[in-house]
A and B are shown apart, each in its own frame.
Chain A
Amino acid sequence: MRPLIPKVRSGSLIATLLRQRLPFIGILIICMLTLMAVIAPFISSHNPYSQDLYRVLEKPSQTHWLGTDNLGRDLLARVIYGSRISLYAGLVSMAISAVIGILVGLIAGYCGGAVDNILMRITDAFMCFPYFIFVLALAAAIGPGINNVIISLSLLGWTGFARIIRGQVLLVREMPYIEAARAIGMPEYKIMFRHILPNSLAPVIVAASIFIGRAILTESGTAFLGLGAEPPTASWGKELRAGFTHLERAPLFSVTPGFMITLAVMAFNFLGDGLRDALDPRLRRGNIACEEK
């Protein structure tokens, strides 16, 4: 018998998270990255788009703290602005995936029977594709641009959410209070959205956090291979790709963007881990982000 599913009360949840070490670090990094993305124009002393072809691949100096990239742009400014693309891709694709996934999972779990079977086999089929390869192929098919990457991310991302929500719904559906709601003649859609959904959300929050990390990883991977955000836009993956070709002359050019990607992914993994512990102590087992790269 499964213990009661804990309610998500934001006040106590955040307090629980902040008491632990790793989730605290994760939240701290996420807040800093978000702040960096929001106030990017105020903290970077250079324009990330202004090129200076006489000063390419410079070493760190007083004017350019991290040096310049292959087109003479300030690397620090590029990295700061790059956080915008990564966070944007991560958050938006998470939101879209979560909404689709929740709907599919809710319908599958609640209706059961043939509907459940069909929806879940489709989910299984999508899950056969490794994330990165599917997004790469699809982004290549529908063309470059960050929004196309987000569409590709969401087209596969919903599957995880659907599976989780379905599992939760199957558990919650059998609870006495659902029976009670049905007995007093509550309409089905109201039962679904007002009683089943809120009580199934806890694991979705965990999955969402880890999903953002994976989405950032995948986005930067596709950008690294030359797809994703269009050229003048600063993105960590794109910087890393350019840095890779100048590895011997300017190692910092590759090190910094990669470090930022790792930092962001790690922060969301920490948060996800902490959320899992805080929301469902039963699942306290050291498995984080147990999916592919």
Chain B
Amino acid sequence: MHKYIAKRLLYSLIILLLVILIVFIVVRLIPGDPIRATMQQNIDLTDQKIVEEVRSQYGLNKPIHIQFCDWLWDLLRGNWGRSLQTGDTVLSMFWQRFPITLELFAGATFWAWIIGFPLGVLSALKKNSFIDVSLTSIALIGVSIPSFWEGILFIYLFSVYFRILPPSGFSHFFEDPWLHFESLIMPTFVMGTHTASLLGRYVRSSLLEVLNQDYIRTAVAKGLPRRVVIQKHAGRPTMVPVATVISLSWGHFLAGAFLVEYIFAIPGLGRMGVEAIFARDFPVIQATLMMVAVNVLLVNLAVDIFYGFLDPRIRLY
């Protein structure tokens, strides 16, 4: 087991280095001078001396490999640079927005869980019935629907037509707790839809598979009540795919957050990323890309190790 974990960690470290390299290359692809692109309002671009000064301040006048090493060193020290737009340090921007996005993640997981899991179980228990077919169709739509369209439909339905939920915006918990929760209902639901649909389908298929096993037939044959068979005997093996879907979805919620936070005007990490991309604010883009990749990397690592504990066969691989 130790060897397995060590190997996974080593792989992750190698992948992390490659990720850093990819991020660096992508950001350097920005054509033209990022300083010129972003700081037009702030500094006098006709004065060559000032431009050079700002460039050297951001280290843009050094050779490319030196820039890379500098950046890597800064990254490791937690010095992620300053936003070209606001001048704030990227790290402080990150900590300011992180709790909001984390809350969205938690909300999305909540919806995915309370919708996907019961409906998946229902679908499996009523296999091939009308309920099963309609739930499966809904899940298929849920996997395909673009989050931004779903968000817009919800805004129209609940905010424009029925006027029961705030269309967008965000208020902090301590200012107005009720409005805070109200404003999170739609975004978290939209973020959770995809995972809920996937979860429903996974739960259905894995429960069906488990229910076909011999030991379930034995349990039924020895006269155990149906409820006990499903909860105690079939429930546990079904949890493995559930745990996988839920944890892997955490790696991808951030991509959903980009669009959802944009539509609902929530000042989280996703919106920070979108705004940075629009403004070509390269220190923030760099940090955002690093953040999403490391997020996925950590989730994958956790799932791998979790699986190693769960299933000894995997450790050999």
Contact = CB atoms under 8 A, between A and B. Distances in A.
Interface of A: 22, 121-122, 124-134, 136-138, 140-143, 213, 217, 220-221, 224-226, 240, 243-244, 247-248, 251, 254-255, 258-259, 261-262, 265-266, 269-270, 285-293
B143 A225 contact: no
Contacts of A287: 198, 201-202, 205
A130 B251 contact: yes
Interface in B93-151: 136, 140-141, 143-149
A244 B274 CA distance: 17
A131 B262 CA distance: 17
Contacts of B147: 293
Nearest to B194: A293
B256 interface: yes
Given A125-B19, A266-B141, A287-B202, A226 B259 contact: no
A22 B140 contact: yes
B137 to A, nearest CB: 9
B262 A225 contact: yes
B146 A221 contact: yes
B31 interface: yes
B292 A293 contact: no
B22 interface: yes
A293 B201 contact: no
Interface in B141-187: 141, 143-149, 152-153, 155-156, 160
14 contacts: A125-B18, A127-B296, A129-B292, A140-B285, A141-B26, A213-B144, A243-B152, A248-B160, A254-B153, A265-B144, A266-B140, A286-B201, A287-B202, A293-B194
B146 A137 contact: no
A247 B136 CA distance: 30
A235 to B, nearest CB: 13
A136 B293 CA distance: 14
A116 B197 CA distance: 35
Nearest to A285: B205
Given A129-B292, A221-B146, A285-B205, 13 more contacts: A125-B21, A133-B292, A224-B148, A226-B278, A243-B152, A244-B152, A244-B263, A247-B152, A261-B146, A266-B140, A287-B202, A292-B251, A293-B146
B268 interface: no
A133 B201 contact: no
Contacts of A127: 296
Most B Cβ at <10 Å: residue of A140, A255, A262: A140
B229 interface: no
A289 B143 contact: yes
B29 A138 contact: yes
Interface string B26-45: 11011100000000000000
A177 B302 CA distance: 40
A131 B146 CA distance: 14
B210 to A, nearest CB: 12
B148 A141 contact: no
A125 B255 contact: no
A21 B202 CA distance: 20
A289 B201 CA distance: 11
Interface residues of B, number: 58
A129 B290 CA distance: 9
B263 to A, nearest CB: 7
A262 B145 contact: yes
B293 A128 contact: yes
B15 interface: yes
Contacts of A266: 140-141, 144
A289 B252 CA distance: 13
A127 B145 CA distance: 22
Contact of B254 (A133, A244, A291): A133
A248 B198 CA distance: 32
Contact of A136 (B14, B27, B258): B258
Nearest to A129: B293
B156 A254 contact: yes
A27 to B, nearest CB: 15
B289 interface: yes
A221 B259 contact: yes
Contacts of B255: 130-133, 292-293
A125 B202 contact: no
Contacts of A217: 144, 146
B26 A137 contact: yes
Contacts of B11: 121, 124
Contacts of A138: 26, 29
Contact of A254 (B152, B205, B251, B285): B152
A98 to B, nearest CB: 21
Contacts of A142: 29, 31
Contacts of B274: 136, 225
Nearest to B204: A286
A287 B288 CA distance: 30
Contacts of A133: 254-255, 258, 273, 288-289, 292
B262 A258 contact: no
B146 A136 contact: no
A243 B151 CA distance: 13
Contacts of B21: 125
Nearest to A126: B22
Contacts of B297: 128
A51 B87 CA distance: 42
